[in-house]
């Protein structure tokens, strides 16, 4: 396979993250306000994709990646409290609302599509939140500029953006992600309905000691009193220790460490998310395409949720970079750590980035020249098939937040 001139590889010096003395990893769970607004914006984009394709046979230009969640006010209490001021959700962006096909002009109900998508996502994600009572939705979605619509029709990059991915995950990263996934699993919710969806995991490894702090919103109507609350926290902590303790790390876990039992201060919510009273959310402020926040790693600050999955490289190249990094890590022996950095230039074909750069840390006694060609071939092949990323995103087969 011919290697394109924009493909670059290099070897990094220094220790991989897994072997550094200190490592810090964060995961904002599905019900965290930042993740919640990411999910809402992405659901609006996917709904627009479905409508455009069904009506016109192609995905028209849109970007709905500017979302703001303004927290409400609530009065939680053991046995069940109430939301007294609703959560406000604002989604802004651009989407084609007027389209001419075969001489016929069509008006597209963008706000109707967006409202249904947002409500459906919230219902699916926060089981104790009443969308009609607890949420107010507002959409500021305007028509896109003619030049960006033109780029969309041509199927070429509509922005100059950076996509970054890395692999493999460290043990700390796997545990941080695994704890949130476990706590938000349907089976866990069935056994412990007291646990809300707003879960934040902060993991800090120092040498071989892993200290994890979990903020876990508790749903008041399932908790009759203080003793019940404490017993659930203790039981869940033991389950996490049993499930995630490894032979390599000494694991300690604290849940809702701001609680003050003596002064009757508890992390109680009415709905299971701090968005009802304690916190606000902003698209792109939370997890990256790995599903994690990893300050010890290279990563892009680009918000992926809500962007057009056909031409917006801020979304496509982030997803692609992560897929390439994972493929290199899994298929090329001797790669200890890999980073993939892809830079687009507005107006260029998606298959031709300004640079697709792979940075490696190799295992001892592995020669760079023995893996270089195979890595370049993987990058070249995945870029050639970049159009497949749209389907992967639409089918939710790649994490975006």
Across the range 368-372, mean pLDDT stands at 96
pLDDT reported for residue 146: 72
Residue 57, sorted as left (phi over 0), alpha (psi -120 to 50) or beta, turns out to be: left
pLDDT at 113 over 80: yes
Element (H, E) at 51: helix 33-56
pLDDT reported for residue 352: 93
How are the residues of the chain apportioned to helix, strand and coil, as percentages rounded to the nearest 5?
A: 35, 30, 35
pLDDT at 136 over 60: yes
293 and 259, same domain (yes or no): no
98 and 179, same domain (yes or no): no
Q: What six digits make up the tokens of 269?
A: 């919510």
Last-in-domain residue among 254, 280, 306:
280
Burial (Cβ within 10 Å: 0-12, 13-18, ≥19) of residue 396: exposed
pLDDT reported for residue 152: 65
164 and 303, same domain (yes or no): yes
Domain count along the chain = 3
Residue 23 lies in a domain: no
CA-wise closest residue to 69 among 94, 88, 97:
88
Dihedral sign, CA of 23, 24, 29, 35?
Answer: negative
Torsion angle of the four alpha carbons 238, 241, 243, 248, in this order, in degrees rounded to the nearest 10: -160
Across the range 21-26, mean pLDDT stands at 98
pLDDT reported for residue 376: 97
In sequence order, what E strands does 147-248 have?
162-167, 195-206, 209-219
Specify the DSSP class assigned to residue 159: S
Q: Per-residue pLDDT tens for 139-194?
A: 999 998 876 666 666 768 888 999 999 999 999 999 999 999 999 999 999 999 99
**CATH number of the domain to which 236 belongs:** 3.30.300.340
Residue 26 lies in a domain: no
The vertex-48 CA angle with 271 and 275, nearest 5°, equals 20
pTM of the predicted structure, to 2 decimals: 0.95
Specify the DSSP class assigned to residue 3: P
Reduced to 3 states, what is the DSSP secondary structure of residue 63? strand
270 and 290, same domain (yes or no): no
303 and 65 Cβ atoms separated by less than 8 Å: yes
322 and 398 Cβ atoms separated by less than 8 Å: yes
Average pLDDT of every residue of the chain:
95
Residue 98, sorted as left (phi over 0), alpha (psi -120 to 50) or beta, turns out to be: beta
Specify the DSSP class assigned to residue 114: H
Q: Per-residue pLDDT tens for 191-237?
A: 999 999 999 999 999 999 999 999 999 999 999 999 999 999 999 99
pLDDT above 90: percentage of residues in the chain: 94
pLDDT-derived band at 278, boundaries 50, 70, 90: confident
Across the range 1-24, mean pLDDT stands at 91
- CA dist., res. 208 & res. 362, Å (int): 22
164 and 301, same domain (yes or no): yes
- CA dist., res. 216 & res. 267, Å (int): 7
* Structural domain of 99: 33-149
Across the range 247-260, mean pLDDT stands at 96
pLDDT at 1 over 70: no
- CA dist., res. 30 & res. 182, Å (int): 12
357 and 250, same domain (yes or no): no
Q: What is the DSSP string of 324-335?
A: HHHHHHHHSTTE
**CATH number of the domain to which 368 belongs:** 3.30.300.280
Q: Which residue has the tokens 């790669």?
A: 335
- In the chain, how long is the greatest CA-to-CA distance? 72
pLDDT reported for residue 147: 65
66 and 93, same domain (yes or no): yes
Across the range 312-321, mean pLDDT stands at 96
Across the range 306-320, mean pLDDT stands at 96
pLDDT at 3 over 70: no
Residue 104 lies in a domain: yes
- CA dist., res. 172 & res. 178, Å (int): 10
Across the range 90-118, mean pLDDT stands at 96
Q: Which residue has the tokens 């979302």?
A: 67
Q: Per-residue pLDDT tens for 31-52?
A: 999 999 999 999 999 999 999 9
107 and 136, same domain (yes or no): yes
Q: What six digits make up the tokens of 27?
A: 């995961």
CA-wise closest residue to 126 among 305, 291, 269, 288:
269
Q: What φ, ψ does residue 355 adopt, rounded to 5°?
A: -155, 145
């Amino acid at each position: 396979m011919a290697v394109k001139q924009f493909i670059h590889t290099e070897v990094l010096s220094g220790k991989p993250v897994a072997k550094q003395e200190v490592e810090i990893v964060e995961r904002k769970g599905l019900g965290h306000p930042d993740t919640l607004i990411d999910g809402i914006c992405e659901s609006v984009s996917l709904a627009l994709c479905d409508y455009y394709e069904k009506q016109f046979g192609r995905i028209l230009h849109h970007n709905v990646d500017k979302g703001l969640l303004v927290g409400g006010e609530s009065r939680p209490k053991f046995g069940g409290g109430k939301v007294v001021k609703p959560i406000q959700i604002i989604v802004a962006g651009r989407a084609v609302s007027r389209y001419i096909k075969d001489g016929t002009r069509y008006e597209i109900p963008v706000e109707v599509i967006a409202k249904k998508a947002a409500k459906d996502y919230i219902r699916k994600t926060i089981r104790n939140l009443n969308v009609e009572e607890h949420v107010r939705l507002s959409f500021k979605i305007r028509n896109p500029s003619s030049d960006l619509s033109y780029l969309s029709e041509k199927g070429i990059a509509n922005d100059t953006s950076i996509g970054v991915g890395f692999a493999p995950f460290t043990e700390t990263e796997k545990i941080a992600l695994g704890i949130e996934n476990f706590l938000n699993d349907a089976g866990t919710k069935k056994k412990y309905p007291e646990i809300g969806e707003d879960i934040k995991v902060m993991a800090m490894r120092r040498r071989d000691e892993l200290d994890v702090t979990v903020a876990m919103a508790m749903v008041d109507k399932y908790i009759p009193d203080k003793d019940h609350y404490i017993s659930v926290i203790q039981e869940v902590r033991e389950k996490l220790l049993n499930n995630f303790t490894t032979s390599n790390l000494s694991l300690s876990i604290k849940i809702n460490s701001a609680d003050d039992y003596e002064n009757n201060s508890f992390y109680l919510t009415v709905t299971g998310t701090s968005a009802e009273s304690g916190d606000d959310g902003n698209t792109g402020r939370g997890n990256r395409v790995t599903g994690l926040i990893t300050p010890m790693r290279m990563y892009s600050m680009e918000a992926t949720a809500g962007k057009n999955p056909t031409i917006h490289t801020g979304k496509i190249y982030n997803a692609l970079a992560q897929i390439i990094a994972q493929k290199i890590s899994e298929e090329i022996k001797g790669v200890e750590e890999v980073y993939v950095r892809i830079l687009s230039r507005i107006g260029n074909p998606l298959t031709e980035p300004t640079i697709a750069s792979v940075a490696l840390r190799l295992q001892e006694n592995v020669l760079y020249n023995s893996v270089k060609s195979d890595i370049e071939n993987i990058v070249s092949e995945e870029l050639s098939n970049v159009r497949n990323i749209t389907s992967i995103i639409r089918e939710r087969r790649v994490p975006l937040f």
